[in-house]
Structure 1
Amino acid sequence: SILDLVFAMEDFAEQVIECSMQDGHGSDHCAIKVQVDLMLPRKEKELSRQFREVDWDFFRKEFEEVMARTPTEIEIETVEDVDRVVKWMVGALQEVVEKVVPVRRQSVYVKKWWMKDLTKMMYECKKVRRQAAKRMAPLDAWVRARALQNQYEKAIRLQKKLH
């Protein structure tokens, strides 16, 4: 008789759906059927905020309004008092962030280094290239299109390097 050993991770037993012996295959051994749940849990998508798009003057104004709702005289004498004040301030900041900072659209194509200026430059490059491709375009149209394209590519490289 040969003993087969199976090694598994310690939380593997929680993933076993069924474990049973199967007979009837005409052998002197018993087959063991193990059914395991191998589905990975889906990760909940986190909402991320676009802090680059914030109007910081409006943010400050909203934060001051939230802070004005607090009692002005706070006595801090114990560690619990410090914890309470910090908890209140963090809550106030989160309230303003949820109100003022826009939520980022989820995309699989997102590039963290991409800026709105690059989008404007891209549209400008396309516009100049289309104008240069027209039949009656000025003589220097392709030169201008190439110069804008070079400037756009240089800006992309710079943004990638900064992030």
Structure 2
Amino acid sequence: MALPGSIPTLQAHNSGNYTRVDNVFCTDTLLECAVTCNTVPSLQPMLTDHLPICTTFDIRIPIVDQRERWCWAKVNWDDFQKRLKELLETLELPSELTTETDFWRALREFDEVTTKVIAELIPKAKPSPYQRRWWNETLTAMKRRTSALSGKSHRHRFERDHPVHEDF
């Protein structure tokens, strides 16, 4: 219970006595966020016997990690593939890696080329503290289209055979 048991929630009209008849329940998760829960007799409306209950919760929006990151959704993969192929062809790698030293050298060179192509062709994402990583431009376009169809459907709500209802 969010409201402590010792706090009265009702003042009887005939006797003026304070009693406890109302409870404030919430989930355990929300209860952890409760800052205050108390009655406010000064806000009691006229001709009512129940006291208003004021509850304050600390429910801040979680802030997303704002490290700079690559925006993989906006990559032109054809250009990326062409550029990577160009730079990999310039490497003088042996056709067969026979020693551990050859392997580590080839891996380092491949990593450098890949990192260079990523830095050149992949845009950086603009960090937002409230971003939804699952949301993308395709969903934005679909939402706009749905909203537009919703408005048209509402405007033609009395015309049951209107084609906009099928589109929506």
Q: Give the TM-score, by structure 1 length.
A: 0.51
In 2: Cα distance, 1:130 partner to 1:54 partner? 34
The residue that corresponds to 2:57 in the other structure is none
String of CA shifts for 1:37-59, please: whole Å, max 9, x gaps: xxxxxxx9432112222222111
Counterpart residue identity of residue 84, structure 2? F
Q: Report the CA distance shift for 1:58/1:137 in structure 2 as closer, same or farther (over 3 A).
A: same
Is 1:85–2:106 an aligned residue pair?
yes
- For the 8 Å contact 1:50–1:101, the answer to whether it is kept is yes
The residue that corresponds to 2:143 in the other structure is 122
Match of 2:87 among 45, 66, 70: 66
- TM-superposed CA distance for 1:69, in Å, is 1.9
Is 1:47–2:101 an aligned residue pair?
no
The residue that corresponds to 2:152 in the other structure is 131
- For the 8 Å contact 2:66–2:129, the answer to whether it is kept is no
Is 1:102–2:123 an aligned residue pair?
yes
- TM-superposed CA distance for 1:132, in Å, is 3.9
The residue that corresponds to 2:5 in the other structure is none
- TM-superposed CA distance for 1:123, in Å, is 0.5
String of CA shifts for 1:49-72, please: whole Å, max 9, x gaps: 122222221111000111122125
Q: Report the CA distance shift for 1:133/1:75 in structure 2 as closer, same or farther (over 3 A).
A: closer
- For the 8 Å contact 1:132–1:138, the answer to whether it is kept is no
String of CA shifts for 1:61-104, please: whole Å, max 9, x gaps: 00011112212546633322211110110110111111111211
- TM-superposed CA distance for 1:107, in Å, is 0.8
- For the 8 Å contact 2:91–2:109, the answer to whether it is kept is no
Q: Report the CA distance shift for 1:72/1:83 in structure 2 as closer, same or farther (over 3 A).
A: closer
Q: Report the CA distance shift for 1:144/1:84 in structure 2 as closer, same or farther (over 3 A).
A: same
1:82 alignment partner, SS class: helix
Counterpart residue identity of residue 100, structure 2? V
Q: Give the TM-score, by structure 2 length.
A: 0.50
In 1: Cα distance, 2:139 partner to 2:131 partner? 14
Q: Report the CA distance shift for 1:138/1:73 in structure 2 as closer, same or farther (over 3 A).
A: farther
**Structure 1 portions without partners, runs of 5+:** 1-43, 149-163
Counterpart residue identity of residue 159, structure 2? L
Q: Report the CA distance shift for 1:138/1:128 in structure 2 as closer, same or farther (over 3 A).
A: farther
Is 1:56–2:77 an aligned residue pair?
yes
